[in-house]
Amino acid sequence: MAIQWSDFALQSLEDIIIWYEVEADRHVADSIAARIFTQIEKMETFPMSAPVSEIFPGTRKVAIKNLPCVAFIRPIEDGIWEVVDIVHTARKLPKSE
């Protein structure tokens, strides 16, 4: 199985990382980014283990361990999943632009 990131999800991740860089420092921001990527990569093995999301129909919700972040993933092709968005849980869901 493979995981792809949507442009929207990558922008959301960048926003989260920038926030951590401003509020803490670059080291913390880099550590947060690595933890998020690692958690998402682990979903490649068992994506169906993530609970179905009630917020974004057709997606599954991946809680990022020990971080206030949730990723939403969905199948887009046989064996390919897409990260639709990643949200800092202090924000309103769904996000508005």
What total number of domains does the chain contain? 1
Q: Please state whether beta strands 80-88 and 2-5 pair in parallel, antiparallel, or not at all (unpaired).
A: parallel
Torsion of CA 59, 63, 69, 73, to 10 degrees: -20
Provide the percentage of residues in the chain whose pLDDT is more than 90.
Answer: 71
- Confidence band, pLDDT 50/70/90 cuts, at residue 94: low
Top pLDDT among 59 and 48 is at 59
* Predicted TM-score of the model (pTM): 0.85
pLDDT at site 93: 53
Q: Find the domain containing 69 and state its range.
A: 2-88
Q: Is the pLDDT of residue 8 over 50?
A: yes
Token pair of 84 as six digits: 């639709």
Q: Is 95 a domain residue?
A: no
CA distances from 13 to 70, 79, 88 (A): 11, 23, 9
The answer to whether position 48 is within a domain reads: yes
CATH number for the domain harbouring residue 82: 3.30.2310.20
Query: Has residue 94 been placed in a domain?
Result: no
Q: What is the pLDDT of residues 23-45, one digit of tens each?
A: 899 999 999 999 999 999 988 88
